[in-house]
């Protein structure tokens, strides 16, 4: 029997936003409120975790083990999912120097949701894709036999969960834009969109390696390139979790105008990028652009 928490959820709301920064260029802006898809697990984290939770339960696993930094939204979502489903969770956290210190608010939430935290050296954490290193880290955390969810939650099952987000948006816009960390959400979303629709990713980390990551994630999940997608580079604002004053001001102003709580690490950079691209004429007059609101502050 499927766990009630894992039953399919209704599509998240799609809202039109009236904003002259788009209107004056003849562009319609819609917000896909995926932050509302689940009451406790926002947006893409739910889309990515749900198929993994299903697979873990079907295979008889009682515990999930996953990876993240000290501020990881993915760790928090995994901890909350474990609580909801009655599964154990183990979080392998980057940075063994954190072990003796008080937990920050994000890790404290993980712990309160029942996640056992295990801090590891950054040098090991970086090499966790190597099978021997992975086995050693999981063993060291006392999580042998647990279901392993990769960092950021982006694996083939996660992409299938995010393809559902794309299917919910068929016919809704020419362009569907999403902020990218690992790129898993974009990779799945693109696969679910209909003909003539394009997915546009806005990387929040500098680096330029994301295109290759997305191609390999899509190859693993769908056997090759799936759907139309591209990346809009240059909107990382200095790197992951950096929120310089102009971006902060932009996000606060957007909240005021549209009564939307704007998550700063991803969603603010997405909305900034769409405003800038619209101003520079990147979207033809008469087109509709949908921004996926992947999370909340």
Ligand X SMILES: *Cc1c(COP(=O)(O)O)cnc(C)c1O
Report the interface residues with ligand X, using CB under 6 A: 43-45, 73-74, 152, 154, 179-185, 263, 266-267, 294-295
Least distance in Å: CB of 59 to ligand X? 23
Nearest to ligand X of 74, 237 (CB atom): 74
Tell me whether residue 25 or residue 264 sits nearer to ligand X (CB atom).
264
**Using CB atoms, what's the residue nearest to ligand X?**
295
Report the C-alpha gap between 159 and 52 in whole angstroms: 10
> Which of left, alpha, beta for 66 (phi over 0: left; psi -120 to 50: alpha)?
beta
Q: How far is the CB of 266 from ligand X (least distance, A)?
A: 3
Of residues 3 and 148, the one with the C-beta less far from ligand X: 148
Other CB atoms within 10 Å distance of the CB of residue 112 = 12
Torsion of CA 8, 226, 166, 234, to 10 degrees: 130
Residues forming a β-bridge with 177:
200, 291
Q: How far is the CB of 187 from ligand X (least distance, A)?
A: 8
Residue 69, helix vs strand vs coil: coil
Least distance in angstroms from the C-beta of 241 to ligand X: 11
Question: Quick check: 180 and 200 in contact, CB under 8 A?
Answer: no
* Nearer residue to ligand X within complex by CB, 177 or 179: 179
User: Least CB distance from residue 153 to ligand X, whole Å?
Assistant: 7
Alpha-carbon distance of 240 to 49, in angstroms, equals 22
* Cβ proximity to ligand X, 203 vs 279, nearer residue: 203
Question: How far is the C-alpha of 256 from the C-alpha of 272, rounded, in Å?
Answer: 15
């Amino acid at each position: 029997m499927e766990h009630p928490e894992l039953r399919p959820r209704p599509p998240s709301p799609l809202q039109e936003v009236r904003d002259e920064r788009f209107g004056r260029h003849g562009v319609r802006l819609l917000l896909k409120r995926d932050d509302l898809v689940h009451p406790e697990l926002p947006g893409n984290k739910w889309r990515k975790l749900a198929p993994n939770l299903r697979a873990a339960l079907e295979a008889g696993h009682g515990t999930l083990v996953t990876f993240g930094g000290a501020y990881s939204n993915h760790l928090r979502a995994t901890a909350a999912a474990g609580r909801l489903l009655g599964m154990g969770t183990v979080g392998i956290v980057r940075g063994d120097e954190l072990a003796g210190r008080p937990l920050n608010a994000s890790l404290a939430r993980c712990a309160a949701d029942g996640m056992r935290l295990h801090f590891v050296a950054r040098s090991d954490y970086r090499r966790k894709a190597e099978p021997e290193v992975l086995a050693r880290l999981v063993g060291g955390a006392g999580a042998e036999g647990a279901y392993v969810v990769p960092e950021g939650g982006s694996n083939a099952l996660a992409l299938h969960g995010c393809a559902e987000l794309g299917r919910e948006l068929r016919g809704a816009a020419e362009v569907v834009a999403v902020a990218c960390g690992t790129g898993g959400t974009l990779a799945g979303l693109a696969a679910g969109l209909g003909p003539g629709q394009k997915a546009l990713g806005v990387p929040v980390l500098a680096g330029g390696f994301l295109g290759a990551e997305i191609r390999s994630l899509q190859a693993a999940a769908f056997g090759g390139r799936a759907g139309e997608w591209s990346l809009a580079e240059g909107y990382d604002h200095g790197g992951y979790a950096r929120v310089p004053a102009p971006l902060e001001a932009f996000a606060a102003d957007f909240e005021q105008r549209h009564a939307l709580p704007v998550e700063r690490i991803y969603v603010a950079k997405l909305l900034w990028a769409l405003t800038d691209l619209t101003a520079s004429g990147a979207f033809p007059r008469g087109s509709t652009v949908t921004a996926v609101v992947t999370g909340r502050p």
